[in-house]
Chains A and B, each alone.
Chain A
Amino acid sequence: MSRLPELEQELVATAARLSNTPRRFERRARALIPALALACLVAAALVASGLFDADEAGVHRGGARAAASGGFPADATLEDMLGVFRRPQTAADDMGIKKDQMNEIPDRQPGEDFTKSRRVEWPGVRIFLWPMRDGVCYGVPGGSGCPPLDALRRTGVSIGGGSGPEGHSLYGVVVDGIREVVLTAKDGPELRVPVRENFFYADLKDARVDRVRWRYAGQDQSSSTDGFFPEETEPPPPDPNASFKAIPGSFSTPVRFTAAGKSYGADRLAEQPAELFAAGGTWTGRMQYTGFARASARPLPTTGQAT
């Protein structure tokens, strides 16, 4: 510990701001140029074809908002977002699983690599992080999870929770720049949990948490995790009015179909794979999903037998 920990903390927070600002700007600029060009072309084509309506225009604005909230561009890698993977690996980071043992793990995720693990120094708790393809996995006492990088790019935080005989615990992966997670209950005090090496862990015993916020250095950003330990319920059905964003290159071949005796053609089927995101990966009761396939259809002139 330093003699002036307040000064150390402020210097590190300032360094975090410096590390985020220029790189984020440069990356966004690099990522935005082709994306904007593509978006303009696609928008022009879609508007000209009359296939997408005003609601769908709102979809793209929504997508942009979501990307901005996480603060990382779409091409940000694990190392770009999580500083713990940029530091050298030490003997203390070894989880004890050798490369030739990895295939024996029954529920191993695609690309999951235990040999590249990092141990998070947390008093009294063994916490490890390790990479997987397009994601990061973690293990804490009584729980584990593998949030996708895409979720971290967009939201900056992946929250998980577990229950055991000792009570609840709340934990998660956070991206660079977030230095504190604040847990609050409607009728309880605020619990401030410091972030260490892109991770936070709170042993809540039987305390309830209604809201989780996280603080970037110099900023405050709130999540919408009201009622974090709800009763287990069925996942909600997909919202047909929910927004979606077409993935470039995912347009299907033209589709023809008949409904109520009338022929239709869907020239472009915009599709987004369902995003199945479990908070922490082990908490099926908290699973939420968004995303669905949707087609813009237009009537076809009758040219013969409909199929």
Chain B
Amino acid sequence: VALHITASAIRSCFVDGERTFAALLNGANGASGLRHVDARKVNVTHGYHIQGNGAETLLAAGEWLADCVRDVIEQASLDPSRDRIATIIGTGLRELRAVERAALEPLAFEAERLHFAGAVRQVCPGIACVITLSNACSADRHALALAQDLVELEEMDAVVAAGVDGMTESMLAMIGRFVLSPPPQVWPFDRECTGALLGEGAAALVVTREGSHNRPCARLLGTALSCDAGHETAPVRDGIRRAIRNAFELAGRSPADVDLVVAHGTGTALNDPTEASLLDEEFGSAGAPLITGPQRGAGAHVRGGCPDERRCGPAMHGHLSRSAHRRTAGPDRRGGDAPARPGPSRARGRPARADQFVRIRGRQRRDADPGCMSDVRWPATRIAVTAWSLHVPGPPLDLLDGGVADEPTCSH
């Protein structure tokens, strides 16, 4: 089933999608001094902030997300009264910044705002379904993969796949806890492995079936996900490899077909050597240009919103090719030509959970194919509950004629 991406929107440190793209081409650095948090306390001095009026906005991430969702729904001409639309949001930190601030000062906000459903429904009241996934760095790609499935299986007419994150003091503390000297920016795949920073950003795109829109941006060929099940934070090579190969298999393409790879590249000693060596293995001498997002850490979710390879593929050639090959064998960022060596082992601990790989390939414009909207139903498959258990601490429960034991548990 051919799927299209029919709209995209970005909010990043470079403002919007156009300017973010231009900044990537120019090699601009979006980092600035850390705001709203005492840099000395968290041992992090810089971040990739979305420009604002200087004051910290409560529930800002929801506003960025709502802006993006509103934009893409307008671009794609989606009508919730006609189309069955879902929004799947990937986020690492939700609105936990509000939770942090509430621990220190009186603030008024509703608990429902923590998971963005309210923000999305504010700009699109008729939306059928909003689901928030909180899978750390890979959350937005989980959202994109599930969006593909929902549309491909005709459960939805269109799905808005979105990613959003702000910064939290607790996550900044985690970064600061593991670096000796806070870097002023992120240098992905650099031999020094100076560490990650956080960024603010939101992005959204619309996934529909082929023919539902007369000016699609791109074609979605395949997505793949895997779970290492090895360590809560450290990457495992096999998991990444599984995702890469599965994506190629599902897309029916080979590494030689790839014009551009958008990598995770956190700048950490655990992620970058692992990711770089795997890219070397999987892409081999094909040597596709490799870039990382405009900001690293949690803000990297913004990458999901720049999928138009017709623009970025050819243009990226030669401009932003910080390839894995260069990292391991080429000149370092300071201009030297030192032999490759693994990154230092001191900066351990930054999560690098992303073991997914998404290929989005541009396609030629084609005429619209109207009338593809179908009567959407949820899957009718019966799901068996083959084991279960409950645990509710406290006094005995008596929910049904004394049928519950002193601790309500059932397992087999």
Tell me, yes or no, whether A binds B: no
